Structure 1
Amino acid sequence: MAIPASTPLASLPPRPYRRFLTSALHTRFVHAALISLLVALNNAFWIGSKRDLFWSWFPFGPAGIKALLFFMSSLFIFILQIATLRIGRQTTTSPFATFIANFLSSTALQTAFWYLVSAWWFTEAYIWSSPDLGWITRGNHKTPDVLNEKPIFFRLYALVLASAYSAIHLYQGHSLLHIPVSRLPTKPSTDSKAPDTHPIEPIQTQLQRRIIPSLAQSAVIAAVAIVATPFINTLGLRQFFWQLHLTLAKPFFNLSRANARPIGYPPLGLFYLGRCLLAGFWLVLTWELTSMLFLTYLKQEPSKTGLPLSATSKDPNGTLLTGLKAKRDVVKTFAFWELDLIAQKHKDRRKAIFEDIERPTGPIWGQTLEAGLKVLRDIDSRITGPPPKEPDPQPNQTVKTLPHIVPELPTRSILQAKPKASMGELLVSSPLRQIGRSKNPWHLSVEQTTKVAGTKLLEYAKPPGADKMPSQSLLGQWAISLQKSPLGWLFLSTKAAKINAAVLGSPSGNAAMIVDVIDSITKMLVASLSEDTYGKATPTVPETVRTFTKTLTIIDSFVLKNSQGLDGGIEEVEIITERLRSGLKELLSAFQLYLLDVGLGIAELNQAKRAVEIPQSEEAEDKAVEPAHHRQLFSNDIQKGKPSKRQRGTESQETRPTNRLEAGPGTSGTSRGALASQINGRLNRKREMEQIR
């Protein structure tokens, strides 16, 4: 329940929504971490020694210690996921833009760093648990101690795995929390339960469905890396890593000068390469399962024991409002998701939001609605551009002066005005005066010369038959030629990518928040008809209808403009337009008796009704309109001799002396057709006026 404004707590700032969300996400993180600990125990069993079968898996022993060490590799990936978490999916417009957004950003540096740290920790834990992978190989009284090259190779192998998987992590978007959105049901459900906006499967089902692809991908990555690492080691990195290990080992071991360079081939056999392959497989699988568990557990609705997260706050409405106005997309997305759940399932919270009207910042519903409509206005600005800034009003600067004793003198010139020059003088004197004032009258300036030369070069560079093409800048022509080159696919963008980037946002689009905004506002306003005690929600309907209409019209026009050659790929945009059209239709149906009384104009109402209709392509519109131009309703009546009401009225007035056109018995078929077309034209104009009214 909302707290009345008269209580002392109403004047206190509400607790931020992100604290309740962080607490819920922390609980989910703990569940994911516990499963990751089981994965680490599995790694300790398969990688460790099998001399004693019981102690190789018993968690309260050496296996448990090794499992904790392997779990640190998962913990580093959890830190990475929390630091780089984003909502939505990638919506870049071209492969080059995808490369820039993924690999030339701070997120790429964090990803590479934490994967390298995770791989290094896993490597050291594996080497520590394997007695034959020490720093040196002990010699006898005849041979000195030498560096052990097996752990050097394994560290290089782990480095290759970390580099490769960090690129895969960025490319596949493992830090993107994609919340699915559902289409509207084709048939209205008979159950009282409303269909879920976000069709999320149970956690167990998601894990079972994704475990097989994760195993296959881990095996492929580990196999490709074990094949590539010996070649990478031979290309000069062997000497570098040898010198690095030698520098670190000299303070602790007595090594001779014979260890300065590696000798011969690396002592790697098929058995050792198989061990490296198995360890690499478990390392990559650890990364795969860690990312999968993190995203799966976080992708749950913001509720706790069946109630919204903000229900435990002393000021639930104020807490929820801080989440709706948050700057971070993660907090804002879960806040609007919670608002959608309240609009669907929690009647008490809906009534509390409508009744909370005595806050210093205004009614809660008004602020909630404004936060939601701002999300839709952002779509408009992404498609049409930001609105022009209004010029700042300049105050009238009037200088107060003393009263004049003497009248002011006239300000007109005392010299006689020059007579108006003739056309011949203008043609001759202006060029001559310019030559006379110039220091170098017979040499063009550098700017003019450069401009003329650039124009001539552009004209010369045009392909044959392109004389009528509009002149473009040299940079623009280079861009066009680059797109036509073999590397042009890097810079080409599809129409589906442009539509997704404009509607959902770029470089990542969040369709879940947009759908929650539309659904929650629609359901809250419809519920206000029976639950709004003070009637504060009804006056906000016109602005909601205007915003829905404008956003729907802009999206439909933009999609229709880019629909030629479009082969799918805009499913989320189509879902948004379906939700907008359905929400607008529901509002018009529910408030049809109040719209004109609360400030919605007739023209705006007609525009909203036209926006509800599904737009058609231009060809379909032409085919639909074409039969209307060939109707022969009245002309057929005339030809068949069956006069209509209008004709009977005309026949009754034939005796009156008028200047109107009359179709007498001797009139030809052409004149009768002209008369019918005039009547049809007047009738069509009358119908159009009735539709406008």
Structure 2
Amino acid sequence: MWELAFIARDYAARRQAIFEDIDRKDGPMWSHIYAVCIETVKGLERRIDEWGRAPAPTEPAPTPTQPRERLSQPLRANDVSAPRHVAKTSLVANTVAQLVTSPGRTPAQDWAPVIKRKAGQVADQVLTRQQREAVQPEALRGYLGTLSLRIMALPVVGPVFQQSFGRRLAKAVLGSPYAETSVYINAAYALSRLAVHSLTEDRYGNVQRDVPTIIRTFTTVIRKLETFRDGFPTHWTDLSQNRQCPEVSEVLNALKDGLAALVEAFGPYSGDLRLSRADMRLAREASQRPQEQRQPEMQQAG
């Protein structure tokens, strides 16, 4: 993509060679370049559409056709090797008997209701009302939340655990584990500049058939990306609340610049390209960058 972007910008002879290479067995060279670049741009839209969806259910593992051979015999009630049944004369004896005859059950499961009831009675007798309210689950969650925020605010430990808006948005749009922006920027640049140069360098007119799809694709991806960015939630660990993502902004600006060049070059031929007025209007709106706020000029004191 990086080399292709250089060719689209600086090397007219190699651009013309791409346009004139039409005798390949598997199709013209332009068709291959167009397919790779447009699929790269559409990858942004595909990730946006798939974000937040539940993963597809995996197929269950096939069950074995034949049962496995038993390695040991099941424990019998009258087995001489098994511990003898102890008379239930005490709570301890009862517990031991249950452990032997029901290995899957623990004493904690039997004692849990009793312990919970006794603990509640002790807490009511020892703790005051304020202390009992302090140990309630809601209060404990509030304490843990405050402690977590204090840890996040530490300059050394905090950045490790904070999930910033920019990092999460870049991962959602550009993919993981490596959110590489240059691939998408160069793909958008190469595709748009090759299409613009085809007006004077493509003698066979192969490129113009794909120009409407390029314009519509750029328009759709830009609008979806802006909507997704504006509605993307901020994580509770992001203490800065900064909704800036330089990586996504760079890709978005590259798409806008490429679309603006296409609209300017092919605007007079939109009717011949079967582009409706609505297509061109949406493309112009999507290609516009937000106007930067001008800094106030310095005024001489009177």
Q: Please say whether Structure 1 and Structure 2 have the same fold, judged by a TM-score greater than 0.5.
A: yes
Give TM-score scaled by structure 1 length: 0.26
The reply on whether 1:555 has 2:221 as its aligned counterpart is: no
The reply on whether 1:531 has 2:208 as its aligned counterpart is: no
Q: Distance in 2 between matches of 1:370 and 1:566?
A: 39
Q: Please show how residues 231-250 of structure 1 align to structure 2 within 5 Å.
A: none
Query: Hey, what does 1:348 align to over in structure 2?
Result: 13
Moved more, 354-363 or 487-496: 487-496
Q: Distance in 1 between matches of 2:144 and 2:49?
A: 28
Name which of 578, 582, 587 aligns with 2:257. 582
Query: Hey, what does 1:364 align to over in structure 2?
Result: 29
AA in 2 matched with 1:370:
A
Query: Hey, what does 1:505 align to over in structure 2?
Result: 175
Spell out, residue by residue over 1:174-224, the C-alpha distance to the aligned partner (whole angstroms, 9 max, x if none).
Answer: xxxxxxxxxxxxxxxxxxxxxxxxxxxxxxxxxxxxxxxxxxxxxxxxxxx
| Identity between Structure 1 and Structure 2 (%) | 29
Name which of 190, 195, 200 aligns with 1:520. 190
The answer (yes or no) to whether the contact 2:253–2:289 under 8 Å persists in 1 is no
Q: Distance in 2 between matches of 1:614 and 1:563?
A: 23
Q: Distance in 2 between matches of 1:462 and 1:563?
A: 27
Q: Could you list the runs of 5+ residues in structure 2 that have no partner in the other structure? A: 54-135, 153-157, 235-239, 292-302
AA in 2 matched with 1:354:
F
Query: Hey, what does 1:373 align to over in structure 2?
Result: 38
The answer (yes or no) to whether the contact 1:350–1:524 under 8 Å persists in 2 is yes
Q: Please show how residues 562-577 of structure 1 align to structure 2 within 5 Å.
A: 562=232, 566-567=241-242, 570-577=245-252
Report the CA distance shift for 1:483/1:374 in structure 2 as closer, same or farther (over 3 A): farther
AA in 2 matched with 1:357:
I
Q: Distance in 2 between matches of 1:609 and 1:563?
A: 28
Which structure carries more relative contact order (alpha carbon 8 Å, separation 6+)?
Answer: 2
How far the C-alpha of 1:566 sits from its partner, in A, is 4.8
Let me know the Cα RMSD of the aligned residues.
3.0
How far the C-alpha of 1:524 sits from its partner, in A, is 0.6
Q: Select the structure of larger CA radius of gyration.
A: 1
Report the CA distance shift for 1:483/1:372 in structure 2 as closer, same or farther (over 3 A): farther
Spell out, residue by residue over 1:445-489, the C-alpha distance to the aligned partner (whole angstroms, 9 max, x if none).
Answer: xxxxxxxxxxxxxxxx9849xxxxxxxxxxxxx9x9977653776
The answer (yes or no) to whether the contact 1:541–1:595 under 8 Å persists in 2 is no
Q: Could you list the runs of 5+ residues in structure 1 that have no partner in the other structure? A: 1-335, 389-460, 465-477, 617-693
Give TM-score scaled by structure 2 length: 0.57
Query: Hey, what does 1:64 align to over in structure 2?
Result: none
Report the CA distance shift for 1:551/1:462 in structure 2 as closer, same or farther (over 3 A): farther
Query: Hey, what does 1:592 align to over in structure 2?
Result: 267
The answer (yes or no) to whether the contact 1:522–1:587 under 8 Å persists in 2 is yes
Tell me the secondary structure at the aligned position of residue 361 of structure 1. Answer: coil
Report the CA distance shift for 1:350/1:481 in structure 2 as closer, same or farther (over 3 A): farther
Q: Distance in 2 between matches of 1:500 and 1:546?
A: 24
The answer (yes or no) to whether the contact 2:223–2:286 under 8 Å persists in 1 is yes
How far the C-alpha of 1:527 sits from its partner, in A, is 0.5
AA in 1 matched with 2:38:
L
Report the CA distance shift for 1:535/1:568 in structure 2 as closer, same or farther (over 3 A): same
Q: Distance in 1 between matches of 2:186 and 2:285?
A: 24
Report the CA distance shift for 1:606/1:549 in structure 2 as closer, same or farther (over 3 A): same
Tell me the secondary structure at the aligned position of residue 268 of structure 2. Answer: coil
The answer (yes or no) to whether the contact 1:483–1:492 under 8 Å persists in 2 is no
Q: Distance in 2 between matches of 1:350 and 1:379?
A: 26
Tell me the secondary structure at the aligned position of residue 574 of structure 1. Answer: helix
Query: Hey, what does 2:285 align to over in structure 1?
Result: 610
The answer (yes or no) to whether the contact 1:366–1:540 under 8 Å persists in 2 is no
Q: Distance in 2 between matches of 1:375 and 1:482?
A: 44
Report the CA distance shift for 1:491/1:538 in structure 2 as closer, same or farther (over 3 A): same
Q: Distance in 2 between matches of 1:356 and 1:379?
A: 29
The answer (yes or no) to whether the contact 1:379–1:502 under 8 Å persists in 2 is no
Q: Distance in 1 between matches of 2:183 and 2:233?
A: 25
